[in-house]
Amino acid sequence: MAARSPADGAVRDRWLELATRRMTAAGLRAGAARTAVVETLAREGQCLLSAAEITSLLRPGGGGSTASVYRVLMELSDLGLLRRLDGRDGVARFEIADPEHHHHHVVDERTGEVRPFTDDDLERSIERVADRLGIELRSHEVVLRGVRREA
């Protein structure tokens, strides 16, 4: 499924570099678990992965305990390196925050499948709303739920 496939090289490299820079600037060190999680996210975190999924994607044996994975996820989020979406199943999912592109999500209510999409017109609407409300926008998320149209 497209949503889980590896990020293309450009996005991956750009994010990995940004992440490294910000983590260093924040005084974070390159421990085994953090490095493994960051690399995994750069490689496969283009669209919504849960902590459990990330853990199972870490190179087997390369470590990365549950606690460490959660801790890293929180640090990266605080540094603005991840986008987070809390699902109806009570599970939080994360994806890399690429400063140049970002997408939103459509959920097929029949299958539960989640697909990413982008729409410039929608982005403009959102900026106008934020402006009208007097908000300096830091992040935003849109989730569409429905079923694939037949005809």
Partner DNA sequence: TTATATGCAAAAGCTTTGCATGGGT
Partner DNA sequence: ACCCATGCAAAGCTTTTGCATATAA
Applying CB under 7 A, the residues found at the interface with DNA are: 27-35, 50-52, 63-68, 70-74, 90-92
The values of phi and psi at residue 140, to 5°, are -160, 155
Q: Are 96 and 72 in contact (CB under 8 A)?
A: no
Residue 17, both tokens? 């570099």
Q: Are 144 and 104 in contact (CB under 8 A)?
A: yes
Residue closer to DNA by CB (options 65, 125) is 65
Residue closer to DNA by CB (options 73, 114) is 73
Residue 56, both tokens? 């199972």
Contact segment (CB under 8 A) with its own copies among 19-27, 41-49, 94-102, 113-121 equals 113-121
Q: What is the DSSP-derived secondary structure letter of residue 98?
A: -
Residue 5, both tokens? 């496939």
Q: What is the DSSP-derived secondary structure letter of residue 81?
A: -
Does 33 bind its own copies (CB under 8 A)? Our answer is: no
Residue closer to its own copies by CB (options 10, 117) is 117
CA angle, corner 99, sides to 96 and 105, nearest 5? 55
Does 86 bind its own copies (CB under 8 A)? Our answer is: yes
Q: Smallest gap, in angstroms, from Cβ of residue 87 to DNA?
A: 8
- Sketch the per residue contact string, 92 through 111, with its own copies: x for CB under 8 A, - otherwise: x-------------x--x--
Q: Which residues in this chain contact its own copies in the complex, by CB under 8 A?
A: 84, 86-88, 90, 92, 106, 109, 117, 119, 121-122, 124-126, 128-130, 132-149
